[in-house]
A and B are shown apart, each in its own frame.
Chain A
Amino acid sequence: MTDSAVADQADSDRPTRRALFGAGVIGAALAMAGSRSASAATTGLSEGDASLVGFAISLELTARDLYDAAIEAGATGQVWDVMREQHESYAQRLAGIIGVSANTRNDDVYDALVGGFRGATSQAAFDLENVAAATHTELLGVVTHTVLAGAIASIAAMESRHATVLADVAGMGDDLDALFLNTATPVSPPEA
């Protein structure tokens, strides 16, 4: 089966799958950049996929800015710098696929979490990585394009590892549930 055939068949499932996203603890209202239509037209992505990946980009940029806030607040150590770079790379990768600039962060998520990052607490970073991994995992249930799905899966994989590393950094190295389970509620994408 070709990628487009897979995407076509999968597309028919999307309206019901979208309902799977629960209301996020952080909230979900997201005003996405107005370039969605243009990007969809130039990349062959559906409007829905372009919107969803724009949402994912904004989440990654939010994560980058949160790590920046921690670093500005005095957080030191390789973990903070590398995590910041990781999330920026994810935003750029997704932006490259849909052909837009990665420049819109999710202010609602940022405002909800920045307090913990300004305190430079690794617990806040641990929570963020779990939310990000959970959100990307849920996105896989609604994004139809296989290239996008592959990219999102590769990001969710690494964010899961980030969470395990940060659980240890946060002093939860003996808590096997914290290390290996993700109970975070995903952030909901905007309604199309």
Chain B
Amino acid sequence: MNRFPNPSLDRRQLLRNGGIVLSMGALVAACGPDRKGSTDPGRLGVADEPTELPDAVVDDTALLRTAQSLEYTALAVYSAATATNALSTAETALAQRFVEDHQRHAALFGSLVTDQGGVSFDCANPFLMDRAVTPTLAALDGTDDLHRDVLNIAHAFESLAAASFQALVPSLVDLSLRTEMMRIGGEENRHAAALAAVINPDVIFSPAMFGEPVEKDADGFPVPYAIPGVFGRLTGIELVVGARDAEGARYSTQLQTPAPNTYVYEYQSC
């Protein structure tokens, strides 16, 4: 039985209205001038706090250190490639020549870094090693053709070095460094052309130069050409290695010219 004479003020209504008043009070207090607390944006989930990266500039020294790291990356690739013993005697001699050239290039870049007042970066590019080299080499496990894969890997990383140095040229402020960068870039292009001719000796020029489609081979591998285009290309370099998986696919990655995530900044050390 309702003991309240006015039905609009029953107990349930009173509790509801009281809750609204309390909520409005909290809202007004939150908007008050003396509000305290963190001004950071709210976070969802339980992930670790992001690590703040040091401030770093992309200057000539960073670009040279990046180029130097690419030389050491190539050396790491050749070290793994020759250890497979998959190459012929002639191919091994070619690889040994490339190793010597990359060692010379790495030393030259180191000298240029030092001339700029920087610290030589005598190791492989960390980002590339983690994201490209290590998974590519892991994909060789159980491959159906180790010789094919090793040659394709060598060609891809030579092409990457060639494209990278070309790409870095316009970013260098000191004009003399542009010449030095491209002098080495020219040699990487020569390496890539020779390896393309080893893999694909019958066709020198890419069909793209004649307006024809560029297709993969019957097994799904990109076909390298000694002359891949009219101009030096800066697009991603597709690398396919390993055996087919249960779904018929092989390991595939795109090698990209240096970007802010691949640069070797001043604060980084080996």
Contacts and interface: CB of A to CB of B under 8 A. Distances in A.
B173 A161 contact: no
Contact of A165 (B191, B193, B231): B193
A155 B166 CA distance: 10
A140 B173 CA distance: 11
Given A1-B173, A168-B197, A154 B189 contact: no
A86 interface: yes
B182 interface: yes
A164 B182 contact: no
Nearest to B230: A89
Nearest to B98: A180
B178 A149 contact: yes
Contacts of B205: 78, 82
A18 B246 CA distance: 60
Given A82-B227, A142-B175, A165 B204 contact: yes
Interface in A107-150: 133, 136-138, 140-144, 146-147, 149-150
A144 B175 contact: yes
Interface string A168-181: 10000000100111
Contacts of B162: 157
Contacts of A140: 169, 175, 178-179, 181-182
A162 B229 CA distance: 11
A173 to B, nearest CB: 9
Contacts of B230: 86, 89, 158
Interface residues of B, number: 38
Nearest to A160: B186
Interface stretch (A9-17, A26-34, A97-105): A9-17
A156 B186 contact: yes
Given A82-B227, A154-B232, A164 B190 contact: yes
B193 A154 contact: no
B174 interface: yes
A153 B170 contact: yes
Interface of B: 94, 97, 101, 162, 166, 169-171, 173-176, 178-179, 181-183, 185-187, 189-194, 197, 204-205, 209, 226-227, 229-234
21 contacts: A10-B174, A17-B175, A20-B179, A89-B231, A141-B176, A149-B178, A151-B231, A153-B169, A156-B185, A157-B162, A157-B166, A157-B231, A158-B229, A161-B189, A164-B193, A165-B193, A165-B197, A168-B197, A176-B97, A179-B190, A182-B183
Sorted nearest first, the 3 A-B pairs with minimum C-beta distance are: A157-B232, A160-B186, A141-B179
Interface of A: 1, 6, 9-10, 13-14, 17, 20, 78-79, 82, 86, 89-90, 93, 133, 136-138, 140-144, 146-147, 149-151, 153-158, 160-165, 168, 176, 179-182
Given A13-B174, A153-B232, A182-B186, 20 more contacts: A89-B230, A140-B181, A141-B179, A144-B175, A146-B170, A149-B169, A154-B233, A155-B231, A156-B182, A157-B166, A157-B231, A158-B227, A161-B189, A161-B192, A163-B190, A164-B193, A165-B197, A168-B197, A180-B101, A182-B183
